[in-house]
A and B are shown apart, each in its own frame.
Chain A
Amino acid sequence: MALQEMNFTFQAKGDYESIPEEWSHTGVVGSGDLEILLRHEDLGGKVEAKIVTPVKGFDDIWEKVLSKFVESNKVGNVVIEINDNNSTPFIVSMRLKQALAEAKGGIL
């Protein structure tokens, strides 16, 4: 199946926080699931996201899900890389929250 790549940049309003480690990896690219790599990088507070997915036509929903994640968790100076295999928007937001929790000390 042809994969497609999407790139977005976000900036949380007000305060933001990066991840303590240099990088953190969670998840597996099973059917209906995804893997997430979070990387600490000095981007002047911005968040850069790169998504590779076989799903076409849902770019605006990816953008909304990621934007909400960045905003509600006050994320900044992080690169998010996602390899997706047909996850629903909810699974994406749940896995993002889990990835962030893990990167911040593995409270899972």
Chain B
Amino acid sequence: MRDDANISWDSLKRDRIERIQAAIPLVKMGKEVDASNAVALLETVIKPYDKVNIEGDNQKQADFLAKSLCEVDVEKIHDLHMVQSSISLGSHLDLFEKGIAKKIDFSFSGPQADRLARMIDQGTIELGDIHTYLELYARYFIDLTPRVALVAAYQADRNGNLYTGFNTEDTPVVIESVKFKQGIVVAQVNEIVDQLPRVDIPADWVDFVIEAPNPFYVEPLFTRDPALITDAQVLRAMMAIKGIYAEYGVQRINHGIGFDTAAIELLLPTYGEELGLKGKICSYFALNPHPSLIPAIESGWVKSIHCFGGEVGMENYIRNRPDIFFTGPDDSLRSNRAYAQMAGHYALDMFIGGTLQIDKYGNSSTATAERITGFGGAPNMGCDAKGRRHSSEAWLKCGQEYGMREQLTGDMPRGKRLVVQLQETFREKLAPGFVDRLDAWKLADKAGLDIPPVMIYGDDLTHIVTEEGIAYLHKCASLDERMAAIRAVAGYTEVGLSADEAETQALREKGIVKTPEDLGIDITKANRNMLAAKNVRELVKWSKGLYEPPARYRNW
């Protein structure tokens, strides 16, 4: 028997109450704290060695709170363990240079990838793990629960209810984990109002609200100007539509970020229409509101889109298309990264995107030796969800074709997620898209990672599309055959130059490799004129003036 007299079962709760009471002198009214007291508030509610979350989503950033945290007295607050989705702002890393924070667990670090790598190399940052979004959220509820969350919302009311509106993103999942484990939630808002358009976070999940001096920063991450789409991208998009979307009848999809998938979206109303595919493919998406999808939506291709986050300029368009998007009683978009990632993992038939490097086995990575970019959400969509039990036409067909199924599960039928990489054999500056060994190995060595950061593993990858052809990798019966199929579409890269002509010919006869010619596509006819919109202005026209692109995309 334990000595109950010496055990406390509510130390977290008592600690929370102590911290909140200590902050009472800083509160102006209700939960409201003046921006001028932000640093003092953080010095009061955060303790050394705490796990702290700064809401840094793919798009929305709690930038004022991040900056304020950089200004705390390092004598009072130090050695924090940051747990956050994204390392997007300079201030996220300044914390480590100042000694305020020591360790980080995160998911994505796009804009700060170089500096992060340098700081890990110099020992300024202790790296925990690099996660996918869904994986990091999962750990918030197991062993990485933040003690304090610093979140961002558009508006708060006088009681502390929050409106996260168009860019809800990660806020609900972060607050759920913190608040219900006796943690503390501080929100920065663009304004405090009497009446919110809708309540996204109820007031009793929020401890303090600060009206920030400036609206929070949002990155237009998913806007691709059609004017920059190349003929080679049009060709790969045509091949994907004919050789994969049509072939499998793919209805439920996530498109990665990039010009290749933007080209696919812009070919649906033209080339897709020509092939008679409307209603047969591309009806449902887990997707950020890509402006390049507007022509397909307006032409009646799309039934439903659930969004991870918002996209600057798409607010009004979405407000006017509630049949397509998930919107609130106030008519604005409800995005939610946790639910969209869950949907992306379990309810999609296909993930299709691009990458930096694919190795000779089919493993792919966006890591280079000098940059730690993290994963974001792609691996949860770019994999076969092993817990999936429902079926669909595309999933069943891909499973039937799976060349190694019998070796693994005998005669038991099982479907397979389509995981497709669109890859230019050479990128700009003639960097090869296919390599013998991924740069991720060098990075793992340099940054002391347990394993190289692989975005999509070869055994999950089902198709590679290059200008040379499509490799239907899942049809292969062995790793040797897969490697031959990869070589066959790797063009003039070193991997491609090692292809054996007779072997490639045999793979074509088996339908494991299909060239543009095999697919009935004339490459001399692939050009930008086939795009439903050729520039941002035409996207605005398609949207009937509802899409309002950011200034940097307006050149007319």
Contact = CB atoms under 8 A, between A and B. Distances in A.
B50 interface: no
A89 B524 contact: no
B505 interface: no
Most chain A beta-carbon contacts within 10 A, residue among B429, B491, B497, B526: B491
Contacts of A108: 524-525
Contact of A89 (B230, B491, B526): B491
Interface in B484-529: 491-492, 497, 523-526
A61 B492 contact: yes
Interface in B510-556: 523-526
Contact of A88 (B235, B426, B523, B524): B426
B428 interface: yes
B492 A32 contact: no
Contacts of B491: 89-90
A40 to B, nearest CB: 20
A55 B430 CA distance: 9
Contacts of A58: 430
A32 B523 contact: no
Chain A interface main SS type: helix
Nearest to A108: B524
A68 to B, nearest CB: 9
Interface string B399-433: 00000000000000000000000001111111000
A94 B467 CA distance: 9
Given A55-B430, A88-B232, A89-B491, A94 B523 contact: yes
Nearest to A57: B430
Contacts of A86: 428-430
Chain A interface residue bracket vs B: 10 to 19
B425 A94 contact: no
Given A58-B430, A65-B492, A91 B524 contact: no
A24 B523 CA distance: 20
Most B C-beta atoms less than 10 A away, residue of A61, A91, A94, A101: A94
A62 B466 CA distance: 19
Contact of B467 (A32, A61, A64, A90): A90
Nearest to B497: A64
A90 B230 contact: no
12 contacts: A55-B430, A61-B492, A64-B497, A86-B430, A88-B430, A90-B426, A90-B467, A91-B230, A94-B231, A94-B232, A94-B467, A107-B524
Interface of A: 32, 55, 58, 61, 64-65, 86, 88-91, 94, 97-98, 101, 107-108
